[in-house]
């Protein structure tokens, strides 16, 4: 329980910083989208729903590669990263999945010195 409350407090701090930076509080999808854009350098005026999903997928794979779940296998001719799954994700509850992602997102932003 202590771990969950620590993650939650750090998460609220991150949300506050991002809200100050972007003018509104982001949800998990928005944060994953930002990480995907950061990792790919993909910036366009109009982004399709499919591209948004792809950016979020890149974010999740990038985040979970820190724990050995994925590894970058290649970048295609357009510069998009492609990942290989190295091990299965743990079969846990939805709340535990969310906390796993939150913990990795927090680590990512700490590494970026945000």
pLDDT tens, position by position, 48-91: 999 999 999 999 999 999 999 999 999 998 889 999 999 998 89
pLDDT score of 2:
46
* Contact in structure between 73 and 83 (CB atoms under 8 Å): yes
Give the separation between CA 8 and CA 57, rounded to whole angstroms.
Answer: 23
pLDDT score of 95:
87
Q: How many helices (H) and strands (E) does the chain have?
A: 4, 2
Q: In this predicted model, what pLDDT tens digit does every residue of 6-20 receive, in sequence order?
A: 888 999 999 999 999
Q: Which helix (H) or strand (E) holds 99?
A: helix 94-111
Q: Is the pLDDT of residue 4 over 80?
A: no
pLDDT score of 64:
97
pLDDT band at 106 (very low <50, low <70, confident <90, very high): very high
pLDDT score of 3:
53
What does each C-alpha distance from 25 to 3, 5, 54, 61, 91 come to in angstroms? Answer: 23, 20, 22, 23, 30
Give the separation between CA 9 and CA 4, rounded to whole angstroms.
Answer: 9
Q: Where are the alpha helices (DSSP H) in 2-91?
A: 2-22, 28-40, 49-65
pLDDT score of 1:
38
């Amino acid at each position: 329980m202590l771990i969950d409350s620590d993650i939650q407090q750090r998460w609220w701090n991150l949300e506050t910083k991002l809200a100050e930076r972007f003018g509104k509080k982001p949800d998990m999808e928005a944060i994953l989208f930002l990480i995907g854009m950061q990792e790919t350098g993909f910036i366009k005026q109009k982004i399709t729903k499919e591209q948004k999903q792809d950016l979020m997928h890149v974010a999740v794979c990038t985040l979970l590669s820190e724990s050995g779940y994925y590894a970058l296998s290649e970048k295609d001719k357009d510069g998009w990263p492609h990942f290989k799954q190295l091990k299965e994700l743990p079969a846990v509850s939805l709340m535990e999945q969310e906390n796993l992602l939150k913990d990795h997102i927090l680590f990512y932003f700490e590494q970026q010195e945000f």
